[in-house]
Amino acid sequence: MPSVAGSNPRSGGKSLDTESHAFGFLKVSSLSETPAELSNRMKKDGYLYIKEFFQQLEVLNVRKEIIARMREMNLILPGADPLEAKANCDQRTVFMPELARQNSALDELLYGDRVMSFYKRLLGNPVRHYDFTWFRPVGPGRGTAPHCDLVYMGRGTRQVFTMWVPFGDVPIELGGLMILEESHRKSDRLKSYLSRDVDSYCTNRPEADQAKVTDSLLWDGKLAHDPVTLRQKLGGRWLTAEFRAGDMLTFGMTVVHASLDNQTDEIRFSSDSRYQLASEPADGRWIGADPAGHTRAGKQGRIC
């Protein structure tokens, strides 16, 4: 069992309560479990954490390519080790989806037979993936605030699954992902939040003309800025892991999650990719050769 002894988990700039009632570690699932067992655990826990899902060498090859690209952009300090990612403190990075473009090794890892077969087994029928890859080279500093993915991609089926993949080992101090225990069972309490859309605007309000032409988020989608207070309000524990290269974590759209702060001088690399049944409607913002995403093409008006 991992331990937080000697570490100080932080998120949103605040130290997390590491007492047993407030903090814990993700349950580990296995590919040896049957589809029914995995599906039942997903329904019960809201997530599946599978260690060594990928071949470590394949993951590290992607890491090496990403680091090479970022060194060319002067975002990583020069070093003899091609896998080392010391951050250039003058330029903090957080979200760079461009690193996923024209990246065949990353595409094969995230959308190849291993992953697509896994989701087909889990969901019981053919699946599709979103055509946009969220790639995050997170430098030293605060992590991602608590949120649910539904508010960013809820225009199709609600049965979409995120796969979070770390590209390298991620100890507590490097700022891995964390999930709020059993938060997927609290959708009634979060009904108002989950009904919103970060690209939706009111056509009958004065700001409509500006909203429909902006290429940025109309609302940041955060559920809260303070993960400590949020946990106290909703209950449960913040769950995380000492992630290793090759691990993966997958979860549903109504699971509250966030990330720990990066308290090191290195960059933490991870990706988010999304999967759903091919037979169900998909959110058009994330489909196609050049997905609209959160640009003006993805804005949607409604009467408020």
| pLDDT per residue as tens digits for the range 6-22 | 679 999 999 999 999 99
Which residue type sits at 50? I
> Does residue 32 have a pLDDT over 90?
yes
> Does residue 293 have a pLDDT over 80?
yes
pLDDT of residue 7: 77
This model's pTM is above 0.95: yes
**212 band by pLDDT with thresholds 50, 70 and 90:** very high
The pair of three-digit structure tokens given for residue 106, joined into one six-digit string: 């990353």
% of the chain beyond a pLDDT of 70: 98
Q: What integer is the mean pLDDT of 63-74? A: 97
pLDDT of residue 48: 98
Q: What integer is the mean pLDDT of 248-264? A: 98
Cα distances (Å, whole numbers) of residue 4 to 90, 272, 301: 30, 25, 46
> Does residue 179 have a pLDDT over 80?
yes
The CATH number of domain 10-302 is 2.60.120.620:
yes
Q: Which long-range contacts does 295-299 make (Cβ < 8 Å, 24+ apart)?
A: 295/215, 296/212, 296/213, 296/214, 296/215, 298/199, 299/199, 299/200, 299/201, 299/211, 299/212, 299/213, 299/214, 299/218
Q: What integer is the mean pLDDT of 169-183? A: 98
CA–CA dist 87, 84 (Å, integer): 10
pLDDT of residue 1: 58
Choose the weakest-confidence range: 10-14, 159-163, 204-208.
Answer: 204-208
